[in-house]
Amino acid sequence: MQLVFASNNKNKIKEIQLLLPQSIQILSLEDIGCIEEIPETADTIEGNAILKANYVTQKFGYNCFADDTGLEVEALNGEPGVYSARYAGEQKDANDNMDKLLLNLKNKSNRSAQFKTVITLNLNGKQTLFTGIIKGKIIEEKNGTNGFGYDPIFVADGYDKTFAELTIEEKSTISHRGLAVKKLVEFLK
């Protein structure tokens, strides 16, 4: 089975392909000739996942799935949330985003946070949503070089390493995206 994953983020594509059975092959947006940036204008994570999946289905006619992820920090009333990728500006720079977040948490003792991923699957005219959440905390400085986004400052509950210190295989088995993809795979069986 081939499914379009509405992303050109090579890190995400690699992470998700590792979680899927070999019977499911992912095509990226680039693979189907979609080179434009899909607008993410919804005010929720769910809304953006739906927008991206619908864009591919309506414009290109493919069965597909799309995800949106946000980091929600308790002491910041859920920020950066839906704005996680562009928290520090439209340049979408991970280091700038982490620096802004660490600055905003500077004098806060509550560092509880969660990553939330929502996957929207458009398959044969039906739409289904899958959610994965992993709780943890934001540490005070960046550690690790694996992963992407906020991985160097997020430690999942029950772990003592950041997502960026885990291997991609370790991270994908416990991560928010991994949990949502597992639900997707179960559904597709």
Report the binding-site residues for substrate.
Answer: 7-12, 69, 148-151, 171, 176-177
Out of 43, 67, 68, 157, pick the active-site residue. Answer: 68
Do 115 and 138 meet the contact criterion of CB atoms below 8 Å apart? no
| DSSP per-residue letters across 82-105 | TTGGGTT-TT--HHHHHHHHHHHT
160 part of the active site: no
Q: How far is CA 170 from CA 147, 156, 167, in A?
A: 11, 12, 5
- DSSP code, position 37: P
Binding positions for Mg(2+) are: 68
Binding positions are: 7-12, 68-69, 148-151, 171, 176-177
Find the farthest-apart pair of alpha carbons in the chain and give their distance in angstroms, rounded: 50
**Which of the residues are catalytic?**
68
